[in-house]
Structure formats: structure tokens, C-alpha cells
């Protein structure tokens, strides 16, 4: 008898869903928006695995709705703040994510935000589209240089290192703050205060945890240069958006580039940051290439198939067991 697996969204890219359907009985939530806890709980009874996107809620109540058959929660994402990891650990459930496959693509996007925010590309393009480019003026659309600037990376895992490699092509000095990462040939490890004070661009590459929530707020923004740019492709809750909005509006910070927000998705209730001319905003597209999104789903499926076949998961979360019921190991969380 085939085991049952719940997929929280329809229309996932790649061949992963077909491979999963060949090995398990699959229940798919059929809605078009973001499923709520009750939506998923109604489909979860008796499932052995759950394949979820990075912002679909997987809490203790959903795990209980699945019952004792649940062995693995597999996220098609790098982030994992949507999962109650403590509840999973209590029940001996493996939790996996998809780290390495999206690092290079997300680093591309982070650097695109650096370029767009620093050079004011969005505002310049909007001026052109509005028909207001009627004369060449030396002081129009002045941005700040990227080449030769100092880049500070908060979090120096796979994505942070990929951004550092790109920065060296621009002749940038690179600093990083990460308790798990010493100096290497790309970057120098420094304290957070030094990084904020010396960096022309600060790029965030940490997961959202209780320790990193509002890691960048009023105090940290005040420690940055007024000519600095803040970029985040991490998770929205790492930045205090009200503090960032005030810093940009008062000229305390030159610019920002955001792919993530505290409230996602937004619908028509937009964050006020979206309308700020010195802020470049995107709808969480860091991993959004055809190849990378398909690879994320494929790896999420591989993790489910491995656990259901009594093999260790390929990419369990740090601190999560690789096989159901094994004790969790304490480990630092990287991005």
C-alpha cells in the first residue's frame, strides 16, 4: 500500500511532483492563494510526508492532524521560519530544506539589487517611462559607485560566499559577520559594529529566527554610513521595516534593495517601502529561475522519497535528525 503525501500547492515546476506521484498517493491543496492551517489540516490525515513551500504554515496542529504516520516535512525553500521546529522535534519528524541548489541564483539577485539600488536604476527608468526625460542634466539620477566599495555580508554561508565572489569582480573589499565563518580568501571576518560602520553596502544572508528577528533596526541603521545601501534577500522579519522607512525618508540611509518583507504576500495592501524612490522592491524572487525552482522541488521530493524508503534525508535542517525518531543535534543555522 502506497504511503500518502500532502503537497501544499499545485503547479510546481520540474518533474518532482510526477516522481512523487509514482511512489506515493499524493493529495494536493487545490486553492490558488496561500493555504491556511485549516485548509491543510483537512487534507493531512494519515500522510507520511508534507511537501510545503517556504511560507506555507506547518505547525504542531497540522502535524497532529497528520497523526503518527507523519515522518517528514520537506520544504521547497532555503528558509524554514514557517515550520514549528520544536513541535517537529518533539514528534521525531524530519524537517528538510533546499540549501545549495538556490545559492548561486539568489546571489545573482542580491547583486542585481545592489546595482539597482546603488545606481538608482528604478527611479531613472520610471523617469524615462513617464516622458520626463526632456534634457540631459549632469545632476539627474546620480547614484553611488559599486566598484571599489566595501561590501558587508551579514551571514556568510553558501549565498553570502557566492555574493562575495561576485563582489571581487567589481574590485570590492568584502567583510562578513558570521560566528561560524572565519576569514577566507574572499572576505574578512569582523564584528557586527565594525561591519555596519565600514560598509558601503550591507547585504543580509541569515535565516529568520528569534535571534535574527529585527536584527537590523534603528540602532543598526544609525551605525551605518548615510551613504550606505541595505540589501536583503534573506527573510523580511530580519529588518525592522518601520525603522528602515524612517532612515530612508530622513536621509539617514542612501538606499535599500528588498526582495523580502515582513508581510508576504502583500496583495493590494502594499508596504510603504514600495513607493519610496530610494528603495528597490521585488516580490521574493531570489530563486526565481526555471532551473533553480525545478531543482528546489526535485530536492524536496528526493528528501521525502529517501525518508519514506528508510534512508537518511539528503538535506535536513541543521538540528533536525536525518531519520525519523532520531535525537536532534544542536547545530548552527546557516543561509
> d(Cα 164, Cα 83) in Å, to the nearest integer?
30
Q: Could you say which of 235, 254, 293, 334 is catalytic?
A: 235
Close Cβ partners of 148 (under 8 Å, ≥ 6 residues apart): 170, 171, 172, 173
What is the pLDDT at residue 31?
A: 83
141 is catalytic: no
19 is catalytic: no
Question: Exposed (0-12), middle (13-18) or buried (19+): which is 105, by Cβ within 10 Å?
Answer: buried
Pair 47, 72: CB distance under 8 Å: no
In three-state form (DSSP H/G/I as H, E/B as E, the rest C), the secondary structure along 86-123 is HHHHHHCCEEECCCHHHHHHHHHHHHHHHHHHHCCHHH
> d(Cα 75, Cα 53) in Å, to the nearest integer?
6
Taking 50 as the pLDDT cut, the residues of the chain under it are: 330-332
> Which three cell numbers, joined as nine digits, stand for 260?
523580502
Q: Could you say which of 25, 168, 264, 278 is catalytic?
A: 264
What is the pLDDT at residue 1?
A: 75
Q: Could you say which of 97, 176, 177, 284 is catalytic?
A: 284
What is the pLDDT at residue 329?
A: 57
Pair 233, 281: CB distance under 8 Å: no
What is the pLDDT at residue 16?
A: 94
Residue position matching grid coordinates 513551500: 53
Torsional sign, CA 41, 47, 53, 57: positive
25 is catalytic: no
What is the pLDDT at residue 73?
A: 98
What is the pLDDT at residue 335?
A: 59
Amino acid at each position: 500500500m502506497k504511503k500518502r503525501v500532502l503537497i501544499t500547492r499545485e503547479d510546481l515546476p520540474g518533474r518532482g511532483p510526477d516522481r512523487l506521484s509514482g511512489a506515493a498517493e499524493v493529495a494536493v491543496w487545490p486553492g490558488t492563494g496561500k493555504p491556511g492551517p485549516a485548509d491543510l489540516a483537512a487534507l493531512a490525515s494519515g500522510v507520511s510526508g508534507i511537501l510545503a513551500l517556504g511560507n506555507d504554515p506547518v505547525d504542531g496542529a497540522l502535524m497532529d492532524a497528520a497523526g503518527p504516520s507523519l515522518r517528514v516535512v520537506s520544504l521547497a525553500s532555503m528558509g524554514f521560519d514557517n515550520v514549528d521546529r520544536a513541535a517537529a522535534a518533539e514528534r521525531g519528524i524530519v524537517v528538510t530544506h533546499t540549501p545549495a541548489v538556490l545559492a548561486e541564483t539568489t546571489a545573482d539577485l542580491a547583486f542585481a539589487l545592489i546595482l539597482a539600488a546603488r545606481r538608482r536604476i528604478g527611479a531613472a527608468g520610471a523617469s524615462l517611462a513617464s516622458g520626463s526625460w526632456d534634457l540631459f542634466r549632469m545632476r539627474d539620477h546620480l547614484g553611488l559607485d559599486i566598484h571599489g566599495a566595501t561590501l558587508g555580508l551579514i551571514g556568510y554561508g553558501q549565498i553570502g560566499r557566492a555574493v562575495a565572489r561576485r563582489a571581487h569582480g567589481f574590485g570590492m573589499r568584502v567583510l562578513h559577520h558570521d560566528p561560524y565563518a572565519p576569514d577566507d580568501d574572499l572576505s574578512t571576518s569582523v564584528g557586527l559594529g565594525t561591519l555596519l560602520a565600514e560598509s558601503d553596502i550591507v547585504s543580509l544572508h541569515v535565516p529568520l529566527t528569534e535571534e535574527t528577528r529585527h536584527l537590523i533596526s534603528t540602532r543598526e541603521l544609525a551605525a551605518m554610513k548615510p551613504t550606505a545601501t541595505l540589501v536583503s534577500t534573506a527573510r523580511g522579519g530580519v529588518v525592522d521595516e518601520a525603522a528602515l522607512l524612517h532612515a530612508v525618508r530622513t536621509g539617514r540611509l542612501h538606499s535599500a534593495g528588498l526582495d523580502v518583507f515582513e508581510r508576504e504576500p502583500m496583495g493590494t495592501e502594499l508596504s510603504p517601502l514600495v513607493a519610496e524612490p530610494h528603495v528597490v522592491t521585488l516580490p521574493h524572487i531570489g530563486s526565481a529561475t526555471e532551473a533553480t525552482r525545478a531543482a528546489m522541488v526535485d530536492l524536496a521530493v528526493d528528501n521525502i522519497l529517501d525518508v519514506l524508503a528508510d534512508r537518511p534525508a539528503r538535506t535536513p535542517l541543521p538540528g533536525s535528525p536525518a531519520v525519523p525518531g532520531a535525537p536532534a543535534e544542536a547545530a548552527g543555522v546557516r543561509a
